[in-house]
Structure 1
Amino acid sequence: MTATASPNRPAHRSIRVFALALGILFPLMLLWSFASPLGSVPDEPSHFVRAAAVAGGQISGTAHPDLPTAMLAYVPAYVENTHQAASCLAFEPDTSAACITPVTGDPNRIVDTGTSAGANSPLYYALVGSPTLIMSGVKALYAMRAVNALLCSVMLALTFLFLSLLPRSRWALTATAVSITPMVLYLGGSVNPNGLEVAASGALLASCLALGRVNSTGWGLAGRVTAIVVSGSLLMATRSIAMLWVLLIVVAALFLSDTAVLRTLLKKPLVWTGLAAAAIVGGATLVWNLNPPDIQPPPFAGAGAGALPTAVDMLLRTFDFGEGWIGLLGWVDTPPPGLALIAWSIAIGAIATAALVLGARRAKIVLAGFGLALLLVPAVVQASVIAELGYIWQGRYTLALLLCFILLCGVALDDSAVLQPSKQWRTGVSAVAILLVLAHGLTMYTGLKRYVVGAQYTWWEMVVQPQWQPFGSWELVLALCVVISATGALFVYRNLTGRETPDA
């Protein structure tokens, strides 16, 4: 049985946790938005087009007559021009952002163009594309990024909030903070559903755990049910494979829930209402995914290879995708610095090892399941499409699973209550925290250098001969990133090493 907290547990701590998380994550994502030129994130121009088209009322469409690999979309001229604006940067890490042409075009002139994101659910794009209804030009494009950043940061802040409601949450909160890599922030500061996929996965898992492990009534119950429906709906709206993430998360949360709490929940009409709403959204999303627009993605390298050799190859390359977990920037052309790979390898490795050795038995079973999913899902999915599409898999496609895995490592440690504060491990935690802050800053520096002067140059050329500058300057963006990251690390450290009295 899982220890359950009182439904009357004071909420002020959780509200404070939410506010702190939002106040740190939203500015960090905005900084990444400023540090990345418009259209410089993978497939972002197509996502701009899809979002503007959906916001303008075009929910679906047909293949473009001249581009059978893209859906025909009708958008304002300035949105269509994002395809060309940053095309000089794609896969050219040594080219600075000085090559970008200004995003121009009459906002009142609707033109036809193509988008490779036509198969995705329209819900995400309706939200992100909403700024195009009230503004235009560069301001609208950055506002779209800001909406995505707000959605992602709110989902992640809710993750922290609901974890803080658990009887013990010291390690769960710490593990979740570790799971927010520079790649999560980079995607959050762009127009790409991958960022919301990661953030909503965390919110769904945390809200399900809070509902199934902690007695709740009144507004507390309503809030948890609402969060589950909203985060689950947003998650399913990101990519078709996200429906698998929803299934894994719900099964894991049920397995880790308290039986007595579940029995009580089944007697509440509000819970059944929430289940019905979730089923309706899930059904509608499934219908959409089974009837996508008739477009044919272009084949990539490896097309025509055998399924079995591909699956074996993917299994052998599992950790080669780690760069995509940590910070593979640009159009997957700028790898993260070595320090970042080392820092997160140490942090994730330490948390996972401690959880698998010292964690509670039930949680370790769930961890094993998510570990297998991290290993097998890429292999199975890639093998199933290799004949027609070739190699398409990227590390960021399993970022949502990774976040859930690390979060559950923290839950496993909290449930066992074995690893308690001591002077020795506090020193180790301090060292890792400092290492992660430096890694966040160095990854931001790497991304800025790629755009300010090009990846082949040094910091000195950035100082004396910058070819491109983000808002303010690259020095200001980098300094703010380090300061805000350090502030977040300090709060996490204080939570981990402070006193925790569980309600049981």
Structure 2
Amino acid sequence: MDHARSAITARSTSFPWRLFCGVFAGLFLLMAAWALATPVYSVPDEPSHAVRAAAAWHGEVVGNGMQFEAPRYLLIDGAGVCYNSAVDQSANCIGPIVSDGRLIPYTSSANTNSPVYYLMAGLPSAFLTGAPAIYGMRIFSAAVTCLLFAALAVLLVRLPRARWVVLLPAAVITPMVVFLGGSINPNAIEMAAAGALLGSLLVLARERPSGWLFGFSVATAIVSAAFVTGGRSLAMLWVVFAAIAVVALLRVEDWRALMRRRSTWIVLAVLAVICLFALWWFTRPENTVHAAKVPYPGSLWGVAQDMLEKTFLYWRQDAGIFGTLNVPAPEGVQTLWSAVFVALIVLPLVLGRGRERWVAAGFSAALLVLPIMVQVALWRQVGDVWQGRYMLAVFLMLAIAGGLALDRVLGRTAAAGAPGQDLAHRRTVSVLRAVLVLLGIAQLASFLFTLRRYASPERSWFQFLLQPEWQPPGSTIGLTLLALVALGLSTVWVWRSLPRLFEPVPARDAEPSALAAADEPVSTPSA
């Protein structure tokens, strides 16, 4: 036992590159496939986001109201609209993307969003033009999103008895998340940043890290706070939710240790500056929501009732509704992930223990109540604007809190060889492997059905691959192979890791994650 502990401590000085690179590579390859497979502007609000991103690197970060000057190549005939009215129309009706970098005026409905996301996403447009610039912005945004997800994975395996707190967040990376990640849209990076912010704050507050883990946690917290507040104003709530969750989970000894560390106050000061900038930006007079000339009619109680009744509809959207919200994922995919979402809420409440369970319950309540509150508050001014994707960040934070609640109970296992323990271990791994395969198939089906909708909507699968009406960059065969490789390698990697993750560990030795102890380093608390 002493030898095992010393080995873990020795490895804590090195960064877990295998875990970080594995998560990044698997997600990035899949998001890149989506970025190339989705026709330009076939993403919610992508034209407005693309204008702001490119304009930010061509001298207009703020703009004049909704007016921005951006390169001419962003104006594409038929993009995002020419095939929407006919289900049998492929994306071959889109006009060519010219390589004209002249600045012309555009109107962007994303003018009230913070410029932080656009300064990041628009970087490729500073040295590329035409189609390479547009696809470059998509892929670069996907890369940053994947970096945040990989950082979250590194942080979560540092937590004590990390099993379910690792698996549940992975389960909420739905096809919708991957689709949005491979686009010019702040939704996916907002989700990843919210999870990374919560994970980094938990490690800093509860684990009192030192060495590389301390610096990594601080850097992740700062970068995540910048990105989670760097898009939509609603995301300010995710910072509040993360802060409340961490405070609720702190023990008395955690508070004492935090108050004594000078680094605590430095990190809090930096995070406060980031949040104050975002608050200033969103409360500027020109960014306020202006009331409609004629207020939208209807009973607000009726609006609230309608929103409550649509709860599962929004969850199905979170599973996958692609294009400009007009290309739903296959029925089985939406049903499968709706079941995952229900399990995500129910299991921590039924099986979890301690304050972690009540934090998970709070996130579950937010999933139900927050959409109603926001839609009712905005109904008279803007009407029906709510979409399921707006709550993806809350699903991820719920998964983290729910995983902590389950690990508090299920993480304390008997020693290997105890009566029934080996059988329970094998059955748990078998069930999780079955779920893993189902989720992988659902991801692939979502990708293929969506690509087929744009490439050959009325043709056979054979014609879709070999004789498509619309050929995306990389070809239908090439992108299909890319998605297969990404999902295949990721599935095999997780499949092989599950037995190690659920390896029986005596309760007294269950502080480090079993996965971290077996494969990756863990940190040791500072004195």
TM over 0.5: yes
Give the 3-state SS of the residue equivalent to 1:176 in structure 2: helix
Pairwise mapping of residues 79-478 of structure 1 onto structure 2 (< 5 A)?
79=74, 81-82=75-76, 84-90=78-84, 92-107=86-101, 109-291=102-284, 293=286, 303-417=296-410, 422-454=425-457, 456-463=458-465, 465-478=467-480
- Residue deviations 1:194-238, cap 9 Å, x none? 111111111111111111221212443222122111101110112
Question: Residue 200 and residue 294 in structure 1: after superposition, are their counterparts in 2 closer, same or farther (change >3 A)?
Answer: closer
- 1:272 and 1:296 map into 2 onto residues whose CA distance is 35
2:36 maps to 1:38: no
Distance 1:436 1:43, change over 3 A: same
Q: Deviations over 1:433-478 (max 9, x none)?
A: 1111110110001110111022x55424424541112233223322
Partner letter of residue 104 of structure 1? V
Q: SS of 2:68's equivalent?
A: strand
Give deviations 1:243-273, integer Å, cap 9, x for gaps.
Answer: 1011001111222234323322222222211
Aligned to 1:241, the other structure's residue is in SS state helix
> Which secondary structure state, in structure 2, belongs to the residue aligned with residue 293 of structure 1?
helix
Q: Which residue of 1 aligns with 2:511?
A: 503
CA deviation after TM superposition for structure 1 residue 347, in Å: 3.4
Label 1:338 to 1:292 Cα distance change in 2 as closer, same or farther (>3 A). Answer: farther
2:105 partner SS: strand
C-alpha distance in structure 2 between counterparts of 1:203 and 1:143, whole Å: 24
C-alpha displacement at 1:494, in angstroms? 3.3
- Answer whether contact 1:300 1:391 (CA < 8 A) is retained: no
Q: Distance in 1 between matches of 2:355 and 2:294?
A: 42
Contact 2:425/2:504, CA 8 A, preserved across alignment: no
Quote the Cα distance in structure 2 between the aligned partners of 1:239 and 1:464: 41
Q: Look up the SS of the partner of 2:39 in the other structure.
A: coil
The one-letter code of the counterpart of 1:73 is F
- Residue 67 of structure 1 corresponds to none
1:242 and 1:93 map into 2 onto residues whose CA distance is 34
Distance 1:419 1:475 in 2: 47
Deviations 1:357-410 (A, max 9, x none): 221221110111001100011101111111121111111011111111122222
Cα contact 2:152–2:199 (8 A) shared by 1? yes
- Equivalents in 2 of 1:300, 1:419: separation in Å? 60
Contact 1:303 1:391 in 2 (8 A): no
Equivalent position amino acid for 2:93 in 1? C
CA distance in 2, matches of 1:419, 1:398: 32
Contact 1:124–1:237 (CA under 8 A) maintained in structure 2: yes
> C-alpha displacement at 1:49, in angstroms?
0.4
What residue identity is the alignment partner of 1:18? F
Note if 1:25 corresponds to 2:27. yes
Check conservation: 2:122, 2:137, Cα contact below 8 A. yes
Check conservation: 1:21, 1:156, Cα contact below 8 A. yes
1:137–1:346 distance in 2 versus 1, CA, 3 Å: same
For 1:75, which of 70, 75, 98 is the aligned residue?
Answer: 70
Question: Which secondary structure state, in structure 2, belongs to the residue aligned with residue 74 of structure 1?
Answer: strand
TM-score with structure 1 setting the length: 0.91
The residue type equivalent to 1:246 in the other structure is: V
Q: CA deviation at 1:166?
A: 0.8
Q: Kindly tell me: are residues 11 and 393 of structure 1, through their superposed partners in 2, closer, same or farther at Cα, counting changes over 3 Å?
A: farther
- Please tell me the residue identity of whatever aligns with 2:38: S
1:256 touches 1:363 (CA, 8 Å); kept in 2? yes
CA contact (8 A) 2:90 2:470 kept: yes
Question: Between the two proteins, what is the percent identity of the paired residues?
Answer: 34
Residue type of the alignment partner of 1:183 = M
C-alpha change, 1:302 and 1:183, in structure 2 (3 Å) is: farther
The answer to whether residue 496 in structure 2 is matched with residue 494 in structure 1 is: yes
Separation (CA, whole Å) in 1 of partners of 2:432 and 2:451? 29
Contact 2:124 2:133 in 1 (8 A): yes
Conserved 8 A contact 2:99-2:131: no
* Contact persistence 1:196–1:238 (CA under 8 A): no
Letter in 1 for 2:114: S
Structure-2 change in CA distance of 1:264 and 1:91 (3 Å)? farther
Distance across 2 between alignment mates of 1:266 and 1:294: 37
Deviation string, structure 1 residues 72-118 (Cα, Å, up to 9, x no partner): 10111112x147533313465442111111111521x2111111111
Q: Which residue of 1 aligns with 2:525?
A: none
1:479 deviation in Å? 3.1
Supply the distance in 2 between the matched residues of 1:293 and 1:92 (Cα, whole angstroms).
38
Q: Deviations over 1:108-152 (max 9, x none)?
A: x21111111111001110111111111111111111111110110
Which of 464, 484, 487 pairs up with 1:485? 487
- Call closer, same or farther: CA 1:408–1:295 in 2, change over 3 Å: closer
Moved more, 119-128 or 462-471: 462-471
RMSD: 2.5
- How many pairs are equivalent? 490
**Does the aligned pair in 2 maintain the 1:171–1:496 contact within 8 Å?**
no
Task: Assess if the C-alpha contact under 8 Å between 1:304 and 1:388 holds in 2.
Answer: no
**Tell me, what secondary structure is at the counterpart of 2:370?**
helix
SS for the counterpart of 2:327 is coil
Query: What amino acid does structure 1 have at the position aligned with 2:199?
Result: A
For 1:439, the aligned partner's letter is A
What do the CA deviations read for 1:279-311 (whole angstroms, capped 9, x no partner)?
111111101100153697897999322322101
Q: Distance in 1 between matches of 2:285 and 2:329?
A: 35
1:55 paired residue number: 57
> Which residues of structure 2 form unaligned runs of 5+?
1-5, 414-423, 513-527
